[in-house]
Amino acid sequence: MNQPDITVGFIGLGIMGSNMVTHLQANGYRIVVYNRTPEKAQGLVDRGAIQVSTPAEVASQSTFLFTMLAHPNAVTQTALGENGFLDALPTNTLWVDCSTVNPSFSRHMAAESESRHLRFLEAPVAGSKPQAERGELVFIVGGKTEDVESCRPLLELMGQRVVHVGDHGMGISLKLVLNHLLGTSMVAFAEGVALGRALGISQEVLLKTLIGGPVTPPYLVGKQTKFATADFTAEFPLQWMHKDLQMVAEAAQEIGAMIPLSELAQEQYQTAVQQGLGQLDFSAVYQLLNEAT
């Protein structure tokens, strides 16, 4: 299959971005990539992607531009910093930011795009490394309907579902709600197991009984081996969960919402980062809370 008229630019080839691109490649799109650490692009280049050395060079060749970057600062630097892509995108090009940021930042990027006669969508994702590998992400989108429709075929190659929540800021708002639940539920689970162990129940019995049962979230099934083997190799780095709960706090403060549970969970991720666990999976907060038992 060949898609001769469309070049997809992709910036940010970490755990998520590198896996998302493979589905576009497999479907014949011409792909131009940039990553701050260039070596991470090698696997994609071996399969035919064109690697360039600045974000601006990606932009000048792109029909659609995707970003999948760590945090708002990374997006700002790549979009508006030296050799940034925003001033290099051809008029009317659609930029789709899949990074987890916060609603006010996303609205700011929409305004920066519009002032340059560009189109913008936020399309953060639900799902982690395994879903990115299998093309089974859920895109939670904010922006104009016509822009969602124009890139829907690309989103549907990388994901199994596209949820258009509303205008700019609304997709990322829902993503933050999801990560509030993900982050707090992991801490609650870790604390529950620690309590059980302190009461004399073995870890094995606790994991077997709780995971997959009616009171724990289904995503824990995919984390069971990590708890059992204490191998917390990252699928979703803990430092980004900490960042996401910081953004939940900022978003809540902007609108005066109360999030006491999220603040407590964020403290645990903060401690984990301080103890050097930031690059492990976010489930390593389990290790933090269980180390004393």
Ligand X SMILES: NC(=O)c1ccc[n+]([C@@H]2O[C@H](COP(=O)([O-])OP(=O)(O)OC[C@H]3O[C@@H](n4cnc5c(N)ncnc54)[C@H](OP(=O)(O)O)[C@@H]3O)[C@@H](O)[C@H]2O)c1
Binding site for ligand X (CB under 6 A): 12-17, 35-37, 40, 68-71, 73-74, 77-78, 99-100, 125, 128-129, 235-237, 240, 244
- Residue in 239, 107, 258, 134 with CA at minimum distance from that of residue 183: 239
Q: Which residues pair with 96 in a beta bridge?
A: 66, 121
CB of 19 to ligand X, least distance (A): 8
Nearer to ligand X, 93 or 102 (CB): 102
CB of 218 to ligand X, least distance (A): 16
Nearer to ligand X, 193 or 234 (CB): 234
Those residues whose C-beta lies under 8 Å from the C-beta of residue 164, and which sit 6 or more positions away, are: 141, 142, 145, 148, 171
Q: Which residue is nearest to ligand X (CB)?
A: 14
Nearer to ligand X, 70 or 118 (CB): 70
CB of 57 to ligand X, least distance (A): 14
- Based on the number of CB atoms within 10 Å of its own CB, is 205 exposed (0-12), middle (13-18) or buried (19 or more)? exposed
Nearer to ligand X, 69 or 151 (CB): 69
CA distance 66 to 33: 10
- Based on the number of CB atoms within 10 Å of its own CB, is 250 exposed (0-12), middle (13-18) or buried (19 or more)? middle
**Angle, helices 72-80/103-115, rounded to nearest 10 degrees:** 10
CA–centroid distance for 148 within its chain: 19
CB of 277 to ligand X, least distance (A): 14
Nearer to ligand X, 106 or 268 (CB): 106
**Angle, helices 260-274/238-255, rounded to nearest 10 degrees:** 150
CB of 219 to ligand X, least distance (A): 11
Nearer to ligand X, 17 or 196 (CB): 17
CB of 4 to ligand X, least distance (A): 28
3-state secondary structure of 119: strand
**Cα-based torsion angle of the residue sequence 4, 10, 85, 152 in order, rounded to the nearest 10 degrees:** 70
